[in-house]
């Protein structure tokens, strides 16, 4: 799925919800834990319960890579179960010298056919260029994150601007609003108006709503643009809404609540 196709889905569903499949095996409902393919069975149920309310799914690859081959197989099966009507994100935060990045891009755009992948910009354009060379794929660059460590580098000044502002301004020239997206944490909502001055047309992937305490209302108020321009991710608040046998039903109820609130911002 491309960004223009994503825009159509957002408008039809009146939703810009992304469900994060950060599936922690230690938090699976007890009745699933002894199943041979517990992670996939959990993800499958979550997807089936939430797909009518969201437009995207984000798979945090760390939760799958940590399980070795079995985790990679669960990730691949999960990816293929996501409907083609939903934008898929490999939250892998890759980025390295060009020939290595080319292999990362092949991993997440070909071997595992995600629509997009998150990347780190620290090593510069040649570390991101291999991702951007893929047609009909989206590269999602870390911009301003919501973790405490953002103060160590992202919020340090480089001359008259913060480092994250320089990253946004510079990286935005390497691609287009149809193949570049940026990560901006919801707990940094006060910065969204400034960010929109720098990159008015690009989509923002916004984590931190829900369990991390970000305000959906503020994100919509300061972050939306003419195409909506937002994907708001909720992970734990949705997928672990219940630890019982009703976990999927509970996830669907929470996702529907997000969609209903989002519809009021159109």
3-state secondary structure of 63: helix
The pairing of beta strand 230-234 with beta strand 203-206: parallel
* Percent of the chain with pLDDT strictly greater than 90: 91
Contact partners, residue 48, CB within 8 Å, separation at least 6: 248
- The CATH H-level (homologous superfamily) assignment of domain 3-162+177-263 is Aldolase class I (3.20.20.70)
Comparing 20-34, 51-65, 157-171, 211-225, the range with the smallest average pLDDT is 211-225
What does the alpha-carbon distance between residue 142 and residue 194 come to, in Å, rounded to a whole number?
Answer: 16
- Chain centroid to Cα 264, Å, comes to 22
What's residue 215's pLDDT?
85
Alpha helices in the chain (DSSP H): 3-13, 38-50, 62-65, 69-81, 98-106, 125-132, 163-171, 192-198, 216-223, 236-239, 247-263
What's residue 61's pLDDT?
98
How does pLDDT run across 160-169, given as a tens digit for each residue? 999 999 999 9
> Is the Cβ–Cβ distance between 177 and 203 less than 8 Å?
yes
Whether the pLDDT of residue 244 is over 90: the answer is yes
pTM confidence score:
0.97
What does the alpha-carbon distance between residue 73 and residue 75 come to, in Å, rounded to a whole number?
Answer: 5
Residue with tokens 């108006």, as numbered in its chain: 193
What's residue 212's pLDDT?
59
Q: What are phi and psi of 208, to 5 degrees?
A: 105, -5
pLDDT band for position 208 (cuts 50, 70, 90) = confident
Q: What is the mean pLDDT of the chain?
A: 95
Whether the pLDDT of residue 186 is over 90: the answer is no
Catalytic residue among 93, 106, 137, 224: 93
Give first-to-last CA distance, the chain, whole Å: 22
How does pLDDT run across 36-70, given as a tens digit for each residue? 999 999 999 999 999 999 999 999 999 999 999 99
What's residue 213's pLDDT?
63
93: annotated active-site residue? yes
Ranges of each domain in the chain: 3-162+177-263
Whether the pLDDT of residue 214 is over 80: the answer is no
What's residue 190's pLDDT?
75
Whether the pLDDT of residue 211 is over 80: the answer is no
What's residue 187's pLDDT?
72
Q: What angle do CA 233, 117, 167 make, to 5 degrees?
A: 85
pLDDT band for position 125 (cuts 50, 70, 90) = very high
pLDDT band for position 221 (cuts 50, 70, 90) = very high
Torsion of CA 88, 89, 90, 91, to 10 degrees: -150
What's residue 229's pLDDT?
98
What does the alpha-carbon distance between residue 164 and residue 156 come to, in Å, rounded to a whole number?
Answer: 8
Tokens of 139: 């590269």
Whether the pLDDT of residue 224 is over 80: the answer is yes
What's residue 126's pLDDT?
97
Residue with tokens 């301003």, as numbered in its chain: 144
Whether the pLDDT of residue 116 is over 80: the answer is yes
What's residue 210's pLDDT?
63
């Amino acid at each position: 799925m491309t960004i223009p196709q994503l825009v159509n889905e957002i408008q039809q569903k009146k939703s810009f919800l992304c469900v994060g499949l950060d599936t922690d095996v230690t938090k699976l409902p007890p009745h699933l834990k002894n199943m041979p393919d517990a992670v996939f069975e959990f993800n499958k149920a979550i997807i089936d319960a939430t797909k009518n309310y969201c437009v995207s799914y984000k798979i945090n690859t760390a939760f799958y890579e940590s399980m070795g081959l079995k985790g990679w197989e669960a990730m691949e099966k999960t990816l293929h179960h996501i409907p083609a009507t939903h934008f898929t994100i490999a939250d892998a935060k890759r980025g390295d010298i060009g020939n290595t990045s080319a292999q990362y891009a092949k991993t997440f755009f070909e071997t595992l056919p995600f629509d997009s992948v998150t990347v780190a910009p620290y090593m510069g354009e040649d570390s991101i260029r291999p991702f951007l060379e893929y047609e009909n794929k989206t590269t999602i660059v870390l911009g301003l994150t919501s973790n405490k460590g953002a103060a160590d580098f992202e919020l340090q000044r480089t001359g008259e601007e913060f480092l994250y502002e320089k990253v946004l301004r510079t990286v935005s020239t390497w691609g287009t609003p149809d193949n570049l997206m940026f990560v901006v944490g919801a707990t940094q909502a006060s910065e969204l108006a400034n960010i929109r001055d720098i990159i008015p047309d690009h989509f923002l992937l916004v984590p931190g709503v829900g369990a991390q305490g970000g305000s959906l209302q503020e994100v919509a108020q300061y972050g939306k643009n003419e195409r909506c321009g937002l994907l708001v991710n909720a992970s734990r608040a949705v997928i672990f809404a219940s630890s019982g046998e009703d976990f999927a039903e509970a996830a669907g109820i929470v996702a529907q609540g997000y969609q209903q609130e989002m519809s009021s911002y159109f």
